[in-house]
Amino acid sequence: MAKKVKTAITPTREEDYPEWYQQIVKASDLAERSTVRGCMVIKPWGYALWENIQREMDDLFKSTGVKNAYFPLFIPLSFLEKEAEHVEGFAKECAVVTHHRLEQGPEGGLIPGGKLTEPLVVRPTSETIIGESFSRWVKSYRDLPLLINQWANVVRWEMRTRIFLRTSEFLWQEGHTVHASAEEAKERTRLMLDVYARTAEEYLAMPVIKGSKSAAERFPGAVDTQCIEAMMQDRKALQAGTSHFLGQNFAKASGIRYQTADETEDFAWTTSWGASTRLIGGLIMTHGDDDGLAVPPRVAPTHVAILPIAHKPEDRQKVLAYCDQLAQALRSQYYHHRPLVVEIDDRDIGGARGWEWIKKGVPVRLEIGPRDMANDAVFMGRRDKGHKEKAAMPREQFIAEIGALLDDIQANLFDRARAFRHAHTHTIDDMVKFTEFFTPQNSDKPEIHGGFALSHWCGAAECENKIKEDLTVTIRCLPYDMQDEEGQCICCGEPSSQRVVFAKAY
C-alpha cells in the first residue's frame, strides 16, 4: 500500500467529498455557518471574492444597457399570490413577517407584538414586487425595453442547507426586463445567459454547458428557463445561473401593459435572470484540491502573497525593505483592469504562514530570504502546481512577466477543469450502461462511473420522472451547442431528436 501523502485538508476529496467541502470552506477562511439556522457568515476573504465577481458581472450587465435599482425586501402576501405557479413554487420555503414590534410577554421575556394586517414575505425572488413598480413605469412602447438589475439578499427557507450552495439567506443579483415583443424578450434571455457563461468561463475559469431546462425544472411561472451547468469534482452538476423567458405571465399578473406604436394596448413580455453566491461554491468545487482552495487570478482578492523569510534579526529589516520595494513595483501594475493586489505577510508564525496562503488559494506565493535578495531574485510557487514545485526567478523578470504568469494560471485552471469534464462526460445509449454509470457502488470500476451522460430523451415527463425516481438523476439541460441527431429515448425507446445532459445535481 502506497504511503499516504499528507494533505492540508482532511479528509481528502476521495475519502469524503461532502466533508472535504465543509473543511475547505473553513480552511480557506471563506465563510462559516451562522448560529442563525441555515444562514452563513461570509468572511473577508469570501466577501472580497464575491465583490470581484460582482464587479465583473455588473460591468457586463451595464455594457448591455442594464441599470441597477433597488426594491423592497418585503413582499405583501397578496402580491405573491398574483401568479399561481409562482407562489406555489415558493410557498413552502418563505420567511414570513407577521409582527412589527417586540413587547413584554406575560412571563417577562419579549414576544412579538403589533400584528400586521397582511403578512409580509421576505423576498425569495422579486418578480411580483418589481412587477408592481414596472406596471407604473411602463406606459408606452417608448419606455421599452426596460432593463433593470438589483443586487440583493434573498431568503428561501431550505430544509437541508450547505454553505454557499443552499442557504436560507444568500446574496445574488436579479435582473428584470420588459419588452415590446416576445422575440426581443427571448433575445434578452439568451443574452444574459451568455453573460453568465462568460462570467463562469472567463472569470471563474469554470467551463459550463448552456441549455434550456425541461418543463419540470423550470422556474415557477416561466415559459422557458435557460441555465448554465458546470461539473464539480465529484462529477455532480451545479446549476450556476439561470435566465428566464417569462412570456406574458408576469406582465398579466402585475398588469404591465403598454401602448404599442399603432396605439393599441398590449401586455408586455418580461424576463428575469439571477446568479448568486452559489458561484463561489462552484469555484471551490471546480478548483479546490486536497491542499485547499485555488482562486482564479481574475477574481482573486489577492494576486501575490509575499512571505519574507529572515531567521537572523539583522537580516529582517533588509529583507522587509526588499519585499516592500517589490510589492510597490507590482502594485503599480494592472491585471485585467484591476490594480494588482499584493500582500506582504510578515507574521512570525512559522510554516503555518505559507500553508495559510495555499489553503486560501492565492495564485502566486513568493518566499523572499537573504539568499534571494543577494541573487536579486524571488522564490516563487504557483497555486495551480504542487506545493513543492517552487523555483527561483530573477526579480526583474518576475515583475515584467507577472501579468502573463497570472494569465497562464487562469488558463491552466480552466483547461484542467474542462479536461476533467471531458473525461467524465459520456455518450450513453443503453439503459443498462446508463444505470451502471450512475450507480458506481454496483461496479468494479467506481472511478470511471458518474458524470454527465449525453443520452436521448423523447421529451415525455414520465421518462424524466422515472429516471429521477430510480436514480436521482435529472435532466440538467437541453444543450444548445450540440448537433441534432436522431435516436431513441434512453428510457422508453421512443424516437428522439436530441441528446440531453443527464446528471446527479446539487
Interaction site with a second copy (CB under 8 A)? 32, 34-36, 39-44, 46-48, 50-51, 67-77, 80-81, 87, 91-103, 109-112, 114, 119-122, 129, 132-133, 148, 152-153, 155, 157, 169, 171
Which three cell numbers, joined as nine digits, stand for 241?
445561473
Least Å distance between CB 416 and a second copy? 30
d(C-alpha 462, C-alpha 460), whole Å:
5
Nearer to a second copy by Cβ, of 54 and 455: the residue is 54
Say what angle helices 182-198 and 44-63 make with each other, to 10 degrees.
Answer: 140
Nearer to a second copy by Cβ, of 277 and 498: the residue is 277
Nearer to a second copy by Cβ, of 26 and 468: the residue is 26
Dihedral-angle region of residue 15 (phi above 0 means left; psi in -120 to 50 means alpha; beta otherwise)? alpha
How far is CA 81 from each of CA 99, 129, 242, rounded to the nearest angstrom?
20, 11, 23
Least Å distance between CB 280 and a second copy? 12
Least Å distance between CB 89 and a second copy? 11
Least Å distance between CB 500 and a second copy? 32
Nearer to a second copy by Cβ, of 172 and 452: the residue is 172
Chain CA centroid to CA 309, Å: 37
Nearer to a second copy by Cβ, of 148 and 227: the residue is 148
Cβ of 426: how many Cβ atoms within 10 Å? Answer: 16
> Which residues of 123-234 form beta strands (DSSP E)?
146-155, 169-179, 209-212, 224-231
Examine residue 145 and say whether the peptide bond preceding it is cis (omega within 30 degrees of 0): yes
Task: Provide the pairing of β-strand 364-368 with 304-308.
Answer: parallel
Nearer to a second copy by Cβ, of 65 and 493: the residue is 65
Least Å distance between CB 65 and a second copy? 11
Which three cell numbers, joined as nine digits, stand for 281?
461554491
Closest by CA to 305, choosing from 318, 290, 295, is 295
Least Å distance between CB 204 and a second copy? 19
Least Å distance between CB 337 and a second copy? 11
Least Å distance between CB 311 and a second copy? 21
Nearer to a second copy by Cβ, of 29 and 194: the residue is 29
Least Å distance between CB 112 and a second copy? 4
Which three cell numbers, joined as nine digits, stand for 337?
483592469
Closest by CA to 156, choosing from 225, 219, 238, 64, is 219
Least Å distance between CB 22 and a second copy? 16
Least Å distance between CB 262 and a second copy? 18
Nearer to a second copy by Cβ, of 87 and 237: the residue is 87
d(C-alpha 319, C-alpha 359), whole Å:
25
SS3 sequence, 350-391? CCHHHHHHHHHCCCEEEEECHHHHHCCEEEEEECCCCCCCEE
Burial classification of residue 276, based on how many CB atoms lie within 10 Å of its CB (0-12 exposed, 13-18 middle, 19 or more buried): buried
Nearer to a second copy by Cβ, of 153 and 397: the residue is 153
Q: Are 308 and 348 in contact (CB under 8 A)?
A: no
Q: Are 264 and 226 in contact (CB under 8 A)?
A: no
Nearer to a second copy by Cβ, of 119 and 440: the residue is 119
Nearer to a second copy by Cβ, of 153 and 465: the residue is 153
Beta partners for residue 115, in sequence order:
99
Q: What is the per-residue DSSP string for 82-148?
A: TSHHHHHHHGGG--EEEEEEEEE-TTSSEEEEEEEEEEEEEPSS-HHHHHHHHHHH--BGGG-SEEE
d(C-alpha 291, C-alpha 382), whole Å:
13
Nearer to a second copy by Cβ, of 346 and 407: the residue is 346
Least Å distance between CB 457 and a second copy? 33
Q: Are 319 and 368 in contact (CB under 8 A)?
A: yes
